[in-house]
Amino acid sequence: MYDFSFTITYDVGADEYADQFIDRESLRSEALYACLDPSRMWVLELVTGDPEDLRAIDDLLLDESIDRYSVSGRSCEATRRVSQIADKRRQRMTYTYVSDVSYCDAIPLIAVKYFSDGVLFRRTRSGETAQWHVLVQDDENVGMLYDTVSGRLADGLQFSFDHLTELEQWESRLLSPSGIRAEQREVLTAAVNRGYFETPREVTLEELATELGLPRSTVSYRLRRATAELAKAFVEQEL
């Protein structure tokens, strides 16, 4: 498997949905996409953030008339059905089925034309950026996807290539028990393994930072965020 990763950056006003994440710093989104052919698409999206920010976008998340998927200036000509499958204080999860597609410049629907043997997509969004990971069996048509997507972007959207690598592991918040990011998980794992949470502590924050090759402030911040996400996840499960 190969992981083709790229980022799309949105200017303010270029996309109604992206604007919500630009205006509300707490919002984060991860979505998994699947397509069998260019006529239909399934989307599972998890949005997290402060309660007031989530309430502000509730209507937008469930509005089937709003196109959240096209990256060109042309709206998708398709039928959209949206269901909410999780509604918690700090998270929303929606399932969307896009069918009867006659035209749509959604990245998964573009890509499936080039990869007939199966492809999977993960998109993470925060602020003005949406990062895509496209998982394919081989890299033969990646260049064609690159050219097509970058050539169809609407005004106010910019494409930047991240990497193309053979896949070793694939992480997703939708498939994991918590919302801890990879860099936070690395620090948390090192802290547990080295005895940071033991009483008395077997390693200091400074020693952890040295071993990880990171500034002490970075290690402290990531450790705080990781433990905070674990606490939120625990409380959400109890509610």
**Res 177: pLDDT:** 46
**Res 108: pLDDT:** 92
Distance (Å, rounded) from C-alpha 216 to C-alpha 111? 42
Q: For the stretch 154-182, what's the b/e string if a residue is b when 16 or more beta carbons lie within 10 angstroms of its beta carbon? A: eeebebeeeebeeeeeeeebeeeebbbbe
Please report which residue ranges of 28-103 form alpha helices under DSSP H.
51-62
Cβ atoms of residues 34 and 177 within 8 Å: no
Radius of gyration of the chain (CA): 19
Q: Which residues contact residue 159 at a Cβ distance below 8 angstroms, ignoring those fewer than 6 apart?
A: 6, 7, 8, 149, 150, 153
Mean pLDDT per 10-residue section of the chain, whose length is 239 residues: 91 95 94 88 93 94 90 91 90 93 93 81 94 87 91 95 77 54 84 85 91 92 83 58
Give the model confidence (pLDDT) of 106-154 as tens digits.
Answer: 999 999 888 876 788 999 999 999 999 998 878 888 999 999 999 999 9
C-alpha distances in Å from residue 221, one per residue of 181, 216, 237: 12, 9, 24
**Res 174: pLDDT:** 53
Q: What is the DSSP letter of 106?
A: B
Other C-beta atoms lying within 10 Å of the C-beta of residue 222: 21
**Res 65: pLDDT:** 87
Other C-beta atoms lying within 10 Å of the C-beta of residue 217: 10
Distance (Å, rounded) from C-alpha 45 to C-alpha 130? 13
pTM > 0.85 = no
Q: Strand, helix or coil at 197?
A: coil
